[in-house]
Structure 1
Amino acid sequence: SSALGAGAAAGPLALVIGDVSLYHDLNGLLAAKMHGLQATIVLLNNNGGGIFSFLPQARHEGPFETLFGTPTGLSFSDAVGMYGGRHATPRTWDEFRRQVAESFEAGGLHVVEVRTSRAENVQMHRFLWERVSQEIAKFLEHKGMV
C-alpha cells in the first residue's frame, strides 16, 4: 500500500515484494484499480517467509515451517485479476525481462510472479557470502591489514 501510494504521487511504480508480504496487503491493490495506477509488481514467491530461513531456528524443520516458514500455497493470479491487473509467471529470464518491459509499455497493474525455492535461495546466499568473505580476506591480506 505504501509503495502504491508513492506511485500515485510520483508516477509509474516498480515494486519487488515477497509472497507473504503481498498476501498480508493484497487489498492494497484496490488503490491501483481505483486510481488507475501504473504499477509493475515483481512477486518473489517462495511459498513462505523466506527471510526466516536464514535464522538458526530454520534447523528445526517441523516447527520452523509452521511458525516461521508459513507456507500458504496461494495462487495470486485470480486475486490480481480481481483488482483488474494482469498476472504473468515467467519460466525463463528472457520471459521475465520481456514481461516486465511489456508491463511498463502497457500501463495499469501488472504482477510478474517469480517462483523460487527458499532452500535453494539460502544455499545460494551462503555460497555467495562465503566467496565474498574469501575475497575480502585476500584483499585485506594483500594490503597488510590482517
Structure 2
Amino acid sequence: MLPRPPKAIDEVLFQQICDGCGECQKACPEQVISIEGGLAQLTLDYGYCSQCGECGKSCPTGALHGSVMDNGLRPSFLGSCQNALFGDCYLCQEACPQEAIELGDLSLPVVSDSKCDGCGRCKQGCPFSSIALSL
C-alpha cells in the first residue's frame, strides 16, 4: 500500500476509481502529490501535507471524497535523534500541529497514533534527518 492524499477512499476502491488525471496534483499548494503508476500518491520526502483539502475539492472521480484526513503515515525516530543523544531538542514536537509527539529526557520521541494524522511536519521540522515516515 502507498500513502494516498487526505480523504482517499478505501485502497481497493481507490485503485479502481482514481484515473490519474492529475487534478489533485495541480491543486496541492504544498506540491506533495505525484501521479505514480497512474494513481495519486502522497510524497512527503521534501515537504508536508497541510491537510487543506484542496486535493479532494479538485478530484473529479470521487477517489478523494472519503471522510478520513489521516493518510496512515507515522514517524519513526532514528538513533541520530538529538533528543535521545543530547536532550533538549523539541523541534519535531514544536512542528506537530496535532500535539501528537511526547518527549522524555534523553529518549526517542513517542507518537500518539490517535492524534497523528501523518502530515509529515515533524519530519520537515527535524534538521538532523532523524525521522522517517512509513505506513
Q: Same fold (TM over 0.5)?
A: no
Larger helix proportion of the pair: 1
TM-score (norm 2): 0.29
Q: TM-score, normalised by structure 1?
A: 0.28
